[in-house]
Amino acid sequence: MSFKVTVLPANREFTVEPGQTVLDAALAAGIVLPYSCRNGTCSTCEGRVVSGEYDAGPAPARILDAADLARGHTLLCQARPSSDLVIEAREVRMADDIVVRKMPVRVLTLEPLAPDVMEITLQLPSAEAFRFQPGQYLEFILKDGSRRSYSMACARADDHRVRLHVRHMPGGLFTSRVFGAGTEPLKPREILRIEGPLGSFFLDPDDPRPIVFLASGTGFAPIQAMIEGMLERGDTRPATLYWGGRRPADLYRRDLALAWRERLPGFRFVPVLSEAAPGDGWTGRTGWVHRAVMDDLPDLSGHQVYACGAPAMVEAARRDFVQQCGLPPEAFHADAFTSAA
């Protein structure tokens, strides 16, 4: 049996078919609600059920706080209605020409950016346009049906090519292949299957507030895409990138970020290391990267934040920026990695 879902405050309606989640049905109807992981781990799709019955699944109890659960908050990527629903959720404005598709891609190059970070360049089918908003991701669909998500590290698919940054997760099925380990290393010319573009992590072009970009490790990839998009558009909003890693090699595109300062008026770059060793010769900031933001900007009430990286960093930033620095909750945009390897 299908059910009707009404989204407030926009008052938009769509139908959920049996077995579908609220998020999947909304996306199928062309209504983009915020989402990232689609598997109940990141909380980006959090919304509030105003009325109606549904199966929430086990994930909300794991990652939402008790007070929010009591107010009807749930994860829309997990919720399956058992009656008509009225929900409150923010709608994301997506360009009309962005269509999610499955397609084959060819591995063009594999270029090491750091001992544990590889840049993969993919050749897309030239017959199909692959348009995306800088900050979105794609999924590889592996032979066993499992999926791996990676953000595009470029603002556009120039020449039908996109670049991704893959961190090696030792023992992982996919990333071990990328790093040439095991019996079946990934090689240029191999054909893989992808679905994309996915996610709602992209800049709001109409929000004039100064931007804080917050990245850890390869969370830099979608931020690179967003900043390159700003360069292309001549977007001069004040923006500061805080990029954190443990050791200098984790900030594998530091030169690029430093060069952006010359090309983008109002852009600042603050690299931060959490485990700098005496031999690293590091003279920059140290500690937790989100703490560096709080030290510099104790009042975030007039800012917007785009954060990508390890889930623990993203969640600590969300909590501390809102609770201690006055960041409006709707001004925190995040894409947390899930660590499937």
What is d(CA 70, CA 57) in angstroms, rounded to the nearest whole number?
15
Q: Which of 33, 44, 214, 306 binds ligand FES (CB under 6 A)?
A: 44
Question: To the nearest whole angstrom, how small is the minimum distance from the Cβ of residue 85 to ligand FES?
Answer: 16
Question: To the nearest whole angstrom, how small is the minimum distance from the Cβ of residue 315 to ligand FES?
Answer: 12
Contact status: 40 vs ligand FES (CB under 6 A): yes
Through-space distance between the first and last CA atoms of the chain, rounded to whole angstroms: 37
Task: Give whichever of 79 and 154 is closer to ligand FES, judged by the CB atom.
Answer: 79
Contact status: 334 vs ligand FES (CB under 6 A): no
Contact status: 42 vs ligand FES (CB under 6 A): yes
Q: Which of 3, 22, 25, 38 binds ligand FES (CB under 6 A)?
A: 38
Question: To the nearest whole angstrom, how small is the minimum distance from the Cβ of residue 33 to ligand FES?
Answer: 9
Question: Greatest CA separation found in the chain?
Answer: 64
Alpha-helical regions (H) of the chain: 22-28, 59-63, 66-70, 173-178, 220-233, 254-263, 289-296, 311-325
Contact status: 21 vs ligand FES (CB under 6 A): no
DSSP labels for 172-233?
Answer: -HHHHHHTT-SSS---TT-EEEEEEEE-S-S--TT--SPEEEEEEGGGHHHHHHHHHHHHHH
Question: To the nearest whole angstrom, how small is the minimum distance from the Cβ of residue 22 to ligand FES?
Answer: 10
Contact status: 37 vs ligand FES (CB under 6 A): yes
Q: Which of 5, 31, 33, 36 binds ligand FES (CB under 6 A)?
A: 36
Applying CB under 6 A, which part among 24-32, 37-45, 181-189, 297-305 lies near ligand FES?
37-45
The helix or strand, by DSSP H or E, that contains position 119, with its residue range, turns out to be strand 117-123
Cα-to-chain-centroid distance, residue 200: 8
Contact status: 136 vs ligand FES (CB under 6 A): no
Task: Give the number of residues in contact with ligand FES, rule: CB under 6 A.
Answer: 12
Pairing of strands 304-309, 211-216: parallel
What is d(CA 65, CA 131) in angstroms, rounded to the nearest whole number?
36
Q: Which of 3, 35, 137, 243 binds ligand FES (CB under 6 A)?
A: 35
Structure token pair of residue 136:
């979105």
Give, to the nearest 10 degrees, the angle between helix 289-296 and helix 311-325.
20
**CB neighbour list of residue 65: distance below 8 Å, 6 or more residues apart:** none
Q: Which of 25, 26, 33, 43 binds ligand FES (CB under 6 A)?
A: 43
Applying CB under 6 A, which part among 29-37, 187-195, 251-259, 282-290 lies near ligand FES?
29-37
Q: Which residues bind ligand FES (CB under 6 A)?
A: 35-38, 40-45, 75, 77
